[in-house]
Structure 1
């Protein structure tokens, strides 16, 4: 089957709305989510049973041509097997849309494919484990690709298959205007439930002429560098040393710790799902469930506050500047695995969500005609003096003021890194404008350390997965580029 190709000049954008369903619609949504989980778990158990049977037969010396026939792992194969078994194993299957079961089967097919490719080395990144069974506390989600999916003319309802018209908290006028003008088309709808128990609908839409709005004027500084951190979420600087903006980290999870501690102590006094005396499962009490719902709402609010600050800051940067340079941080590697001595730092890193900055800028740069340049992971933006270019290899995290041993300059650590990143963006832009035979200016010895061999040892042959393709001689990579306005 041919993959869907986005037409030229169009982009795919998701519009997410919080739903206000009726009690009957809430039961239907939970039923659809449970149906997706049941289909996933049932077919996963069947896949595991067939694999175990074939392994047992091989241990008995049975040849491969006489083994139990394998079960296909693709979505069409899983769907055919499910359709042949659903009447027997799930006689209630007609109560929900077929898209609910297709959602569970699609998740299983993707999980099995990722696990298989990870074992053979075809998939880059961390090793992927074998798919696990979904519990009743797993995140409920259903994706609709067929049927009636539309935004109602009153701009406060969305219609989904088998669920009908569901009221939304926010107005849907922005999406409705695009659809009525012919510049937007809904491709699919995904309904999911967050940790607070609220349902959301994400409409995947094909949008035409997505560009920078007229009210968003370009800044006088076309190239900026962004240094991300825990105390100050974003520090925006230019190549000439001007600090344009400093966005403080909201730290919503840190501010909610007092409330979370009180709620966790309250939940510990309730009748939970696990009995520590008998070491067995039990039916949790209603008060325990109510306390867990309050804990989920607290986490959801912290996530919403964090997401709101990130979206506003990244949108402003992508609209106002022509070239934006960010760091390529190993966010997961910065957090120790269970290290008690770094517990506070780990929580602060998770609360800041540093990796989300680069993710949001990647697609917003395409929307608003900007260029996103990612500095190499080993680019010493914090260790390099922005005044003389000297290096300070032994720079600890506690040193918030960068003091150069060569020229004696003293500057804020984050501001210094933002200046170096902005200069990298200028050399990258100059490299693109240079002749073809001269090569990229940004890559000419930009990240050579005092001992160049160390940069190559960081991603040696012993690594199980491919690393960043940016080599030692290339300091930055253009990952997203739109049409400059």
Structure 2
């Protein structure tokens, strides 16, 4: 079974400089590829879609090497460019494929200031050594923990070196040769209802109820968010004090817009750079706090070895349209919870069931099965109109999800499945 792993690196100052140069070369190769694809796509649209050219100068995207287009890499003055550019451009090719097949936006260029520094390491030359590893053109690099051992003839898959604002990491995948257990046919079914008030309310068919708190409501998370806002206001004031005057330009929509002209270049403002670094470290700590809480919740659910776990197919993009709850919903990271449950259930031998998007788990009475026509967000207690049941709405939804049966309803319309909305 393939397993992903991320290990912190302990590079020297020379190696860290090499890492930054290699990340810059990878970013340049990505942007260069995207620019060439944009030029090709523009010509394709202008010709009415009659040209079959998929890449400028008749090259195929699957065998395109960005380093051959870099003049500094050709003349050998930038040997570090080969560290990250000796691989075909699979990442931008995947972005272009998503643009054509998944209706995504056209891939944009990576910014030197905002993109995450990362680059690819040749998997064939990556070797595990005592205290670290040895890579092509980067030499021996110390790590905080040893790399997992591999069998003869195996390699670490898709290794990348990245920087998260404080530390450098090596991420890769490898085969641990562990066969996941078979899923149980009979056993406990756990329903998980995700929400904003509480991160998750869980109910098992054996009668156990578990509530996972919302980490964003804790004192530690609130203090970090308050610190982040204070630092961002300070950075805004420092940028405002550095404005000399405004220049009138034409915006993207064709309307006139104002562009600030700085007294000094922002790269030379040392106090502003220090403030931006503090902002990145605070955001990093806040993201780590949320990720750790989600990992703990998903590990708790899967390691109890239930027969199945039932979650909802949430329309997160539709929920984000509520401007009063959009920020809170974004902090909950519902898709990340589903992603972690998918691979952890597969690893632990637990069957993961995704309930139908139109299944009324909150409107259905867990006692008699009556479906209410309307249930507002303000009503936190579910009151059944037939049997008189009074129960917390999140717990009621978790009970219904635990008993969810995916019947043969795939060919029916939502109104035919669960009745018309009143």
TM-score of Structure 1 vs Structure 2, range by shorter chain: 0.7 to 0.9
TM-score by length of 2: 0.82
Q: Taking structure 1 as reference, are residues 313 and 140 closer, same or farther at Cα in structure 2, changes over 3 Å only? A: same
Q: Encode CA deviations 1:171-216: one digit per residue, 9 max, x unaligned.
A: 33xx53x537x7985223111122x34322112112211547xxxx
Give the distance between the partners of 1:368 and 1:65, measured in 2 at CA. 47
Give the distance between the partners of 2:241 and 2:84, measured in 1 at CA. 28
Instruction: Please tell me whether residue 202 in structure 1 is matched to residue 167 in structure 2.
Output: no
Give the distance between the partners of 1:389 and 1:420, measured in 2 at CA. 9
Give the distance between the partners of 1:37 and 1:311, measured in 2 at CA. 30
Q: Taking structure 1 as reference, are residues 289 and 349 closer, same or farther at Cα in structure 2, changes over 3 Å only? A: same
Give the distance between the partners of 1:421 and 1:90, measured in 2 at CA. 60
Q: Encode CA deviations 1:382-409: one digit per residue, 9 max, x unaligned.
A: 1111011111221111211111111111
State the partner residue of 1:110.
Answer: 94
TM-score by length of 1: 0.72
1:64 deviation in Å?
6.1
Does 403-412 or 18-27 show the bigger shift?
Answer: 18-27
Work out which of the residue numbers 229, 238, 258 in structure 2 matches 1:270.
Answer: 238
Instruction: Please tell me whether residue 46 in structure 1 is matched to residue 36 in structure 2.
Output: yes
2:238 counterpart SS class: coil
Work out which of the residue numbers 317, 335, 340 in structure 2 matches 1:360.
Answer: 340
Q: Taking structure 1 as reference, are residues 317 and 276 closer, same or farther at Cα in structure 2, changes over 3 Å only? A: farther
Give the distance between the partners of 1:281 and 1:360, measured in 2 at CA. 46
The answer to whether the 8 A contact 2:29-2:67 is kept is no
State the partner residue of 1:328.
Answer: 313
Instruction: Please tell me whether residue 299 in structure 1 is matched to residue 299 in structure 2.
Output: no
Work out which of the residue numbers 391, 397, 418 in structure 1 matches 2:398.
Answer: 418
The answer to whether the 8 A contact 1:149-1:160 is kept is yes
Does 231-240 or 29-38 show the bigger shift?
Answer: 231-240
The answer to whether the 8 A contact 2:320-2:329 is kept is yes
State the partner residue of 1:179.
Answer: 150
State the partner residue of 1:475.
Answer: none
1:166 deviation in Å?
2.6
The answer to whether the 8 A contact 1:197-1:293 is kept is no
Give the distance between the partners of 1:274 and 1:363, measured in 2 at CA. 49
Q: Taking structure 1 as reference, are residues 239 and 184 closer, same or farther at Cα in structure 2, changes over 3 Å only? A: farther
1:19 deviation in Å?
2.3
Q: Taking structure 1 as reference, are residues 27 and 244 closer, same or farther at Cα in structure 2, changes over 3 Å only? A: same
Q: Taking structure 1 as reference, are residues 54 and 453 closer, same or farther at Cα in structure 2, changes over 3 Å only? A: closer
The residue correspondences of 1:363-402 to structure 2 (distance < 5 A) are: 363-402=343-382
Unmatched 5+ stretches in structure 1:
1-10, 118-122, 213-217, 429-441, 458-485
The answer to whether the 8 A contact 2:193-2:394 is kept is yes
2:30 counterpart SS class: helix
Work out which of the residue numbers 115, 136, 158 in structure 1 matches 2:133.
Answer: 158
State the partner residue of 1:20.
Answer: 10
The CA RMSD over aligned residues, in Å, is 3.5
Instruction: Please tell me whether residue 249 in structure 1 is matched to residue 249 in structure 2.
Output: no
Give the distance between the partners of 2:154 and 2:345, measured in 1 at CA. 20
Give the distance between the partners of 1:395 and 1:106, measured in 2 at CA. 48
Instruction: Please tell me whether residue 140 in structure 1 is matched to residue 125 in structure 2.
Output: no
Does 105-114 or 289-298 show the bigger shift?
Answer: 105-114
1:43 deviation in Å?
2.9
The residue correspondences of 1:75-86 to structure 2 (distance < 5 A) are: 75-76=62-63, 78-79=64-65, 82=66, 84-86=68-70
Q: Taking structure 1 as reference, are residues 200 and 92 closer, same or farther at Cα in structure 2, changes over 3 Å only? A: same
The answer to whether the 8 A contact 1:37-1:104 is kept is no
The answer to whether the 8 A contact 1:50-1:71 is kept is no
Q: Taking structure 1 as reference, are residues 273 and 111 closer, same or farther at Cα in structure 2, changes over 3 Å only? A: farther
Unmatched 5+ stretches in structure 2:
247-258
Q: Taking structure 1 as reference, are residues 50 and 245 closer, same or farther at Cα in structure 2, changes over 3 Å only? A: closer
Instruction: Please tell me whether residue 32 in structure 1 is matched to residue 22 in structure 2.
Output: yes
1:416 deviation in Å?
0.8
1:324 counterpart SS class: strand
1:48 deviation in Å?
3.4
Report the count of equivalent residues: 395
2:367 counterpart SS class: coil
Give the distance between the partners of 1:318 and 1:270, measured in 2 at CA. 48
Give the distance between the partners of 1:456 and 1:409, measured in 2 at CA. 23
Instruction: Please tell me whether residue 188 in structure 1 is matched to residue 173 in structure 2.
Output: no
State the partner residue of 2:252.
Answer: none
